[in-house]
A and B are shown apart, each in its own frame.
Chain A
Amino acid sequence: MNDDFLLRLQADWQSQDNDADKVLRRLRRNRWTPHIVLGAEILVCALAFMVGLWFAWIAMHDAQHRLLFALSAAVLLLVAPALCVAGVMARRPSLAWDVETPESLLEVGIRRAESSLRAIRIGRWHVAIIAAFVITLWMAEALGFIHAIDFLILYTTVSLVVSVASWLWMRWRENGVRSEHAACVRLLAALQVDNGIDS
């Protein structure tokens, strides 16, 4: 390169201090962390599954609380393996950073943001599902199929708190995803204007 301006900039650019060494040390130190976190998640799911089996055993042997424990066991036995699979799948590298181009990455970003927005809309239905489940339990209590008023009060309170918290989280997340989508669209437009040179 025989451009004085660029040569000067190159010298200034390459003389910058940075914390690359610190990050390299941290990278070496933390190289097992993702495996440990995944292991812990699998362990928690396995424990939840075992609690589900225990509830199922209680449901079979305790006629008084059969419905309550059977329903709880069903939820745990279905949700624990699903969460475990989701945890493993979420860690699979989904992008080949060396193959993608800036344009393809932004297009992927737009598609992902759109699918996240759809998932958030679907996620809002969870409140209705939980409400229906809680109402069913209360009806079962009122009709005398189960006798666990204290447990139901606790269960209803926890469900309410979790539902409100998830609703707020989904609103916050939706705003973030919308910003991400707008950023991808804007950056893609900037790149495509410049790529007009190639066509």
Chain B
Amino acid sequence: MPLDAHEVVTKFAPALARIAASYERDPALRDELLQEILMAVVSSLPRLKDPDRLKPFLFRIAHNRCLTHVTQRIRERASQEPLDDLAVETAGQDQALIERERGQRLLEAIRRLALPYRQVMTLILEDMSYEEIAEALAISVANVGIRVNRAKQQLKVLLKHE
């Protein structure tokens, strides 16, 4: 039975928004990018043959659309802000704020990863298996494993995690 496009985009929009955020810092451009991803999903969905492969299908579209966005917007991208700017004092803040702060720090760190590592890491964080990531990015499972390990090492440095 064909999948309902409205249901699919409603269910996966938050995850696709996180992928868009890993490529675009500007909130207005990020919303625009998410809208383009959702439109690409709606127009591509009839071509999905196996509904069990929905996640790799959606995330491949999202990463492909984001990659094109990056190459087109490259000249407009502002220089990277230092990560330390986000390292504000968190003592005394409520739990939600601290969580939001951690999420924001992680997003900044992800944006600093080189493209191959950023792609696998965002998919790992969306709870995808190595096989699904390999399918989404058209690379081997072994390559996914190597990229994840390298991305993890870089993230540990960026987040000063020991």
Q: Are A18 and B35 in contact (CB under 8 A)?
A: no
Query: Does B29 interact with chain A (Cβ within 8 Å)?
Result: no
Q: Are B17 and A18 in contact (CB under 8 A)?
A: yes
Query: Please, which residues of chain B bring their CB within 8 A of the CB of A81?
Result: none
Decide if the interface of chain A is mainly helix, strand, loop or mixed.
helix
User: For the complex, what is the distance from the CA of A15 to the CA of B100, rounded to whole Å?
Assistant: 7
Query: Does A2 interact with chain B (Cβ within 8 Å)?
Result: no
User: For the complex, what is the distance from the CA of A197 to the CA of B122, rounded to whole Å?
Assistant: 20
Nearest-CB residue, chain B, relative to A184? B71
User: For the complex, what is the distance from the CA of A22 to the CA of B17, rounded to whole Å?
Assistant: 11
Q: Are A102 and B138 in contact (CB under 8 A)?
A: yes
Query: Please, which residues of chain B bring their CB within 8 A of the CB of A182?
Result: 74
Q: Are A102 and B103 in contact (CB under 8 A)?
A: no
Query: Does A23 interact with chain B (Cβ within 8 Å)?
Result: yes
Query: Does B102 interact with chain A (Cβ within 8 Å)?
Result: yes
Query: Does A86 interact with chain B (Cβ within 8 Å)?
Result: no
Query: Please, which residues of chain B bring their CB within 8 A of the CB of A1?
Result: 124, 127
- Report B69-94 residues with CB < 8 Å from chain A CB: 70-72, 74-75
With A15-B99, A98-B60 as known contacts, state yes or no: A187 contacts B70, CB within 8 Å: yes
Count residues of chain B with CB under 8 A from any CB of chain A: 61
Q: Are B38 and A197 in contact (CB under 8 A)?
A: no
Encode contact with A along B148-162: 1 for CB under 8 Å, 0 otherwise.
Answer: 000010011000010
Q: Interface extent on A, as a size class?
A: 35 or more
Q: Are A9 and B72 in contact (CB under 8 A)?
A: no
With A100-B64, A198-B143 as known contacts, state yes or no: A187 contacts B31, CB within 8 Å: no
User: For the complex, what is the distance from the CA of A27 to the CA of B12, rounded to whole Å?
Assistant: 14
Q: Which of B27, B40, B106, B126 has the most CB of A within 10 A?
A: B106
User: For the complex, what is the distance from the CA of A38 to the CA of B60, rounded to whole Å?
Assistant: 29
Count of A-B residue pairs with CB < 8 Å: 146
With A5-B156, A198-B140 as known contacts, state yes or no: A105 contacts B27, CB within 8 Å: no
With A20-B17, A194-B143 as known contacts, state yes or no: A9 contacts B106, CB within 8 Å: yes
Query: Does A21 interact with chain B (Cβ within 8 Å)?
Result: yes
User: For the complex, what is the distance from the CA of A109 to the CA of B17, rounded to whole Å?
Assistant: 24
State which of B13, B21, B60, B61 has its C-beta within 8 Å of the C-beta of A16. B21
Query: Does B1 interact with chain A (Cβ within 8 Å)?
Result: no
Query: Does A180 interact with chain B (Cβ within 8 Å)?
Result: yes
Query: Please, which residues of chain A bring their CB within 8 A of the CB of B161?
Result: 5
Q: Are B137 and A102 in contact (CB under 8 A)?
A: yes
User: For the complex, what is the distance from the CA of A146 to the CA of B9, rounded to whole Å?
Assistant: 62
Q: Are B146 and A27 in contact (CB under 8 A)?
A: no
Can you list 29 A-B contacts (CB < 8 A)?
A5-B152, A9-B125, A10-B127, A12-B106, A14-B125, A15-B100, A15-B102, A15-B103, A16-B107, A19-B17, A20-B17, A23-B17, A24-B38, A98-B57, A99-B47, A102-B115, A103-B138, A105-B64, A106-B71, A175-B75, A176-B75, A180-B71, A180-B75, A187-B115, A190-B114, A191-B116, A197-B146, A198-B140, A198-B143
Given A100-B64, A103-B138, output 15 extra A-B contacts at Cβ < 8 Å. A10-B127, A13-B107, A16-B21, A16-B104, A20-B14, A23-B13, A23-B17, A98-B60, A98-B61, A102-B119, A182-B74, A187-B71, A187-B115, A190-B114, A197-B143
